[in-house]
A and B are shown apart, each in its own frame.
Chain A
Amino acid sequence: MNAKLTARDRMARLLSVIPWVTQHEGAAIDEIERRFDYPRDLLLLDLQEVVFFVGVHPFTPDQLIEVDISDDKVWIRYADWFARPLRLSPEEAAKLLTTARAALQLTDGDDPPDPLTRALTKLGTVLGAQADQAIDVRLGEARAEIIDVIRQAIDRRIRVAIDYYSYGRDEVSHREVDPVRVFSDQGNWYLDAWCHTVGAQRMFRVDRIIGAEAGETPVDESRQAQPASFIAAPGDPRVLLRLDATAKWVTEQYPCESVSHGPDGTLDVRLVVTEIPWLERLLLRLGPAAEITEADPPVSPDLIGAAARRILALYDA
């Protein structure tokens, strides 16, 4: 979290900090800073210059909060109005509960995380009787055993052999990779790895890894792992598509270099095309909802027609 806290952010923190310090007399500034994500200087300032003057009418000494700070420790007294912290909102509880559910899935198979289970139950009491049924999270559809092989290989720093279905090229290939990182984003698992087969760093969709086997070969440590990305090279082919409003999902599903909105609800999107079958599929699926308005380098004007006829050949019994 960043250090630019608004008055409301600070207020929200103080409503938790005050009751906590009241119960933990002589709490260390460091610990308050860490627990409540409250930058030290701001925390000291707010305690000494603000909380110290908070109270109720008629603001006589017995109606004011008392704050003592010495030796990097804090005492707060007479803050009866703030004896307990402000409740968690349903939104806050729902977000924490979902996070905890997802984490529980990631730690599946390890020791049963009892404290996490207890925390989930408590968060549930904030939300209602059906809380334990209310949320179900799947981070991705990839097979758990493949993720396991990869996670272990990352820990042991060894190479993995994978059979990978390349959607763009529409083929299965065998590759030797040094895994760097495995992560889930928007419902898909990705493997970021150095691919020995192509001699470059690549991002793989884990659900398209058909098989994975870790051997004993250590990863090539001389290779400086860089965060791989989907960012295309300047020389990659590009197309400009005009999409109907109904095809807006394209902008959510694929990284578009640019999107501009036409007055009639149409969209002009620029996409990087690294493989032709990928473009054929996209356009065949979209049908009349899309047309190529520009391509660099040019693509055959009959690209889609030819692809459609190739499929239709299957149907001419």
Chain B
Amino acid sequence: MSKLERLLNLTAALLDSAVPLTAEQIQRRVTGYPPERSAFRRMFERDKADLREMNVPLTIAPDPDTDPPVDGYLINRSEYVGADVRFEPDELAALHLATNLVRLDGAERGLVKLGGGAADDESQIGLIPFDDLLATLVSAAAGQRAVRFTYSDAERTVEPWRLSFAKGHWYLSGWDRLREDDRLYRVDRLDGPIRDVGKAEHPVTNTSDPGSLRGWELGDSDPVAAVVKIDPDHAAWAHHVFGGVEPSPDGSFVARVQVRNIEAFRSAVITFLDHAEIVSPPAIRDDMVRWLEAQS
């Protein structure tokens, strides 16, 4: 008897029964399990793990016919079926086309499950990194759940609002309960496990858009206005980096930005080498001078 057949029999038995089945009943009623008790236990443990891994809603409840109560196993049919979304053929075709354009690890698995076929990876022109931690956050944002995780070595309790992929990174925006403020987090700097800590309560107020946010705008300190002067032949590139430049009377260009993270700002200005200069404020200008002097 193959493992596949045993897993299917186990699932059928648990879906078929209206009451929880005890391990002993499962051993007797499901074909494919060995008669020896410890061998059965080991095999059954692995099978349960496999079913849970596949997102089969296996629950434990006391068997009502036992006294004292013995725990039994059950798969609730309506939980098993879930939202029971039925996709029309043209919708599946559209999702299939989407997976042909965009490569995202694991997206195909869901599509195959819906009967939408495997993707053609020759034609994919977009690549998006994605993992299960991110999926958990998406699910929390969509389902309005609050979560707890570690970020910059500190524990945060956050009501996730939105996951944004911009400039090659995933960002989470949401309400930080401890700081009582909306915040933006780089998902790759966030450490799991992510724990669900109940229903989200704060209304969605955030409008910050990480797509337009630059590295120096991501930080915990208050924003400071800074001005950078740029050589004219670097104006186009500066426009791209700083999100806008204006011509100045002496023929150069200036960019005006709001800085929350001095280190990231310094890095951005250094990429212009000797074609850009921090004009103000003095504190950030001095920081640059000190940084360069240490290396000169």
Identity of the chain B residue whose Cβ is nearest the Cβ of A170 in the assembled complex: B273
Task: Assess whether A309 is in contact with B80, with CB atoms less than 8 Å apart.
Answer: no
Task: Assess whether A187 is in contact with B165, with CB atoms less than 8 Å apart.
Answer: yes
Task: Assess whether B90 is in contact with A287, with CB atoms less than 8 Å apart.
Answer: no
Task: Assess whether B113 is in contact with A184, with CB atoms less than 8 Å apart.
Answer: no
A-B contact count (CB 8 A): 340
Cross-interface CB contact of A50 among B5, B82, B98, B99, cutoff 8 Å: B5
Q: Write out the residue numbers on chain A whose beta carbons fall within 8 Å of the beta carbon of B90.
A: 115
> Of A82-90, A213-221, A260-268, which stretch is located at the interface?
A82-90
DSSP majority for the B interface?
Answer: helix
Q: Name the distance in Å between B75's Cβ and chain A's nearest Cβ.
A: 9
> Of A7-15, A193-201, A235-243, A292-300, which stretch is located at the interface?
A7-15
A172 CA to B283 CA, complexed, in Å: 32
A10 CA to B7 CA, complexed, in Å: 11
* Residues A59 and B102 in contact in the complex (CB < 8 Å), given A130-B144, A281-B273, A284-B295: no
Asked if A188 is at the interface (CB within 8 A of a chain B CB), the reply is yes
Task: Assess whether A100 is in contact with B161, with CB atoms less than 8 Å apart.
Answer: no
* Residues A14 and B295 in contact in the complex (CB < 8 Å), given A127-B139, A138-B165: no
Task: Assess whether B88 is in contact with A118, with CB atoms less than 8 Å apart.
Answer: yes
Q: Write out the residue numbers on chain A whose beta carbons fall within 8 Å of the beta carbon of B163.
A: 134-136
Task: Assess whether B126 is in contact with A90, with CB atoms less than 8 Å apart.
Answer: no
Identity of the chain B residue whose Cβ is nearest the Cβ of A91 in the assembled complex: B135
Q: Which of A10, A84, A99, A131 has the most CB of B within 10 A?
A: A99
DSSP majority for the A interface?
Answer: helix
Task: Assess whether A308 is in contact with B127, with CB atoms less than 8 Å apart.
Answer: no
> Within B126-145, which residues are at the interface with A (CB < 8 Å)?
126-130, 132, 134-136, 138-139, 141-144
Identity of the chain B residue whose Cβ is nearest the Cβ of A163 in the assembled complex: B236
> Of B37-45, B66-74, B284-292, which stretch is located at the interface?
B284-292
Asked if A305 is at the interface (CB within 8 A of a chain B CB), the reply is yes
A96 CA to B50 CA, complexed, in Å: 22
Task: Assess whether A126 is in contact with B83, with CB atoms less than 8 Å apart.
Answer: yes
Cross-interface CB contact of A139 among B12, B126, B141, cutoff 8 Å: B126
Asked if A53 is at the interface (CB within 8 A of a chain B CB), the reply is yes
* Residues A183 and B126 in contact in the complex (CB < 8 Å), given A89-B55, A138-B211: yes
Q: Name the distance in Å between B13's Cβ and chain A's nearest Cβ.
A: 5
Asked if A245 is at the interface (CB within 8 A of a chain B CB), the reply is no
Asked if B293 is at the interface (CB within 8 A of a chain A CB), the reply is yes
Q: Write out the residue numbers on chain A whose beta carbons fall within 8 Å of the beta carbon of B275.
A: 170
Chain B residues within 8 Å of chain A by Cβ, number: 108
Asked if B154 is at the interface (CB within 8 A of a chain A CB), the reply is no
Q: Name the distance in Å between B173's Cβ and chain A's nearest Cβ.
A: 9
* Residues A119 and B143 in contact in the complex (CB < 8 Å), given A126-B82, A136-B162: no
Asked if A174 is at the interface (CB within 8 A of a chain B CB), the reply is no
Q: Write out the residue numbers on chain A whose beta carbons fall within 8 Å of the beta carbon of B139.
A: 90-91, 93-94, 127-128
Identity of the chain B residue whose Cβ is nearest the Cβ of A131 in the assembled complex: B142
Cross-interface CB contact of A102 among B15, B54, B126, B289, cutoff 8 Å: B126
Task: Assess whether B125 is in contact with A106, with CB atoms less than 8 Å apart.
Answer: yes
Task: Assess whether A281 is in contact with B5, with CB atoms less than 8 Å apart.
Answer: no
Task: Assess whether A7 is in contact with B56, with CB atoms less than 8 Å apart.
Answer: no
Q: Name the distance in Å between B77's Cβ and chain A's nearest Cβ.
A: 8
Asked if B195 is at the interface (CB within 8 A of a chain A CB), the reply is no
Cross-interface CB contact of B161 among A91, A133, A139, cutoff 8 Å: A133
Q: Name the distance in Å between A168's Cβ and chain B's nearest Cβ.
A: 11
Asked if A25 is at the interface (CB within 8 A of a chain B CB), the reply is no
List of 5 A-B pairs having minimum Cβ-Cβ separation, nearest first: A187-B168, A87-B82, A128-B143, A92-B110, A103-B98
Q: 9 A–B contact pairs at CB < 8 A?
A: A15-B11, A90-B136, A91-B132, A95-B106, A122-B87, A123-B85, A130-B144, A183-B125, A312-B296
Residues of A at the B interface (CB closer than 8 Å) are 1, 7-8, 10-16, 20, 34-37, 46, 49-51, 53-57, 59, 81-82, 84-100, 102-104, 106-107, 113, 115-116, 118-119, 122-131, 133-139, 141, 165, 167, 170-172, 181-188, 207-208, 210, 277, 280-281, 283-285, 287-288, 304-305, 307-315
20 other contacts beyond A103-B102, A181-B125, A311-B274, with CB at 8 A cut-off?
A: A1-B112, A46-B4, A92-B106, A93-B139, A95-B106, A102-B165, A103-B97, A115-B91, A125-B83, A126-B83, A130-B143, A133-B162, A134-B141, A141-B240, A287-B291, A304-B295, A308-B295, A311-B273, A312-B293, A313-B274
